[in-house]
Amino acid sequence: MKKEKAVEVSSLTKCFGELVAVDHVKFEVEKGEFFGFLGPNGAGKTTTIRILTGVIKPDEGNVQVLGYDVLENSIEAKQLMGVVPEMANAYLDLSAWNNLMLVGALYGVPKELRKERASKLLKEFKLYERRNCLVKGFSKGMKQKLLLCMALINEPEILFLDEPTSGLDVESRRLIIEVIQKLNKEGKTVFLTTHNIEEANQLCDRVAIINRGRIAAVDRPEKLRLKSSGLQSIEVSFDRKVDVEEVLEIEGVNKARKMGDKIKIYIDDPDAAINELVDFARSKKLKIVSLNTLAPSLEDVFLKLIKEN
């Protein structure tokens, strides 16, 4: 029997007038996976997540979430989902507690269980003391944490999070990430959109890179790094200022970028490039202060992929 996937999407397409926001997207997410959907602004991340969670309909394509066709059995599928949308708000004129009771009731969570879960979630997100305050007096971080509580009140099997930590301070961000990681460890599937490469690298089992509505790559972050050729780099600093243009003249250098007091050089063959660099320094009477060879960062891969696609 075919193993059921957490998410299975094919030929997914959504247009807004002339604009193809999502263009024949195809990918699968395994159950229990922490899956990242990484792309620059306007890439189609939110549009995709809105289709996956049954908020909007695609023009073309199939969407299965935990074995349910989201277009045909959206109610069954939605019962298993917890969603934190990009633009959302709790009811501002209700307290945190009443927001949770309302959402719990909508999901059909029995009253006593609702209360039990709400208390536990509010404590976990350090909002319990403020549970009876109106949401309109909440800070952005507090509102975002409450949205997560609301997404979790039905104990969903799969979480869809659209940039859940965007614009939050380090502490709030860390708390949210820790809770999400804990849920993932317990077996929940997480689908997270982000344009933060470091976040994707640290958290995700696999990432899909989306650009202009198309999937440019899907793989483990580490594999994406290793697969990309021509992205080996060397970071070098000299005892005097050297222009990037001069470094570009060196044989074997594909690209060079100034990074603070260092220059980052992209090459195919690090060994040959180091020899060339030493010759270059000698001919210019420069001293090499530091020199590091680096495997490509996920950022390098990302920038390369989105340029190519």
Ligand X SMILES: Nc1ncnc2c1ncn2[C@@H]1O[C@H](COP(=O)(O)OP(=O)(O)OP(=O)(O)O)[C@@H](O)[C@H]1O
Binding residues vs ligand X (CB under 6 A): 16, 19, 21, 39, 41-47, 86, 195
CB of residue 8 to Mg ion, shortest distance in Å: 22
Q: Which is nearer to Mg ion, 42 or 230 (CB)?
A: 42
Q: Which is nearer to ligand X, 44 or 104 (CB)?
A: 44
Q: Which is nearer to ligand X, 104 or 213 (CB)?
A: 213
Which residue's Cβ lies closest to Mg ion?
46
CB of residue 75 to ligand X, shortest distance in Å: 24
CB of residue 189 to ligand X, shortest distance in Å: 20
Q: Which is nearer to Mg ion, 79 or 166 (CB)?
A: 166
Spatial distance between the Cα atoms of 40 and 286, rounded to a whole number of angstroms? 39
Piece in contact with Mg ion (CB under 5 A), picked from 62-70, 82-90, 168-176, 284-292: 82-90
What residue ranges in the chain does DSSP mark as E strands? 7-16, 19-29, 34-38, 60-65, 68-69, 81-84, 158-162, 189-194, 206-211, 214-219, 232-238, 253-259, 262-267, 288-294
Task: Assess contact for 38 and 302: CB atoms under 8 A.
Answer: yes
Quick one: what does residue 21 bind among Mg ion, ligand X, none, with the CB cut-off 5 to 8 Å set by partner type?
ligand X
The residue type found at 131 is R
| CA-based nearest residue to 266, from 274, 256, 276, 275 | 256
Distances (CA, A) of 277 to 25, 132, 178, 233, 243: 44, 65, 44, 13, 14
| Residue 157: Cβ-neighbour burial (10 angstroms; 0-12, 13-18, 19+) | middle
CB of residue 214 to ligand X, shortest distance in Å: 12
Q: Which is nearer to Mg ion, 86 or 157 (CB)?
A: 86
46 binds Mg ion (CB under 5 A): yes
Q: Which is nearer to Mg ion, 41 or 229 (CB)?
A: 41
CB of residue 44 to ligand X, shortest distance in Å: 4
Residues 236-275, one symbol each (x = binds Mg ion by CB under 5 A, - = not), give ----------------------------------------
Within 8 A by CB and 6+ apart from 178, the residues are none
Measured torsion, CA atoms of residues 177, 180, 184, 190, in degrees rounded to the nearest 10: -100
* Site for Mg ion, rule CB under 5 A: 45-46, 86
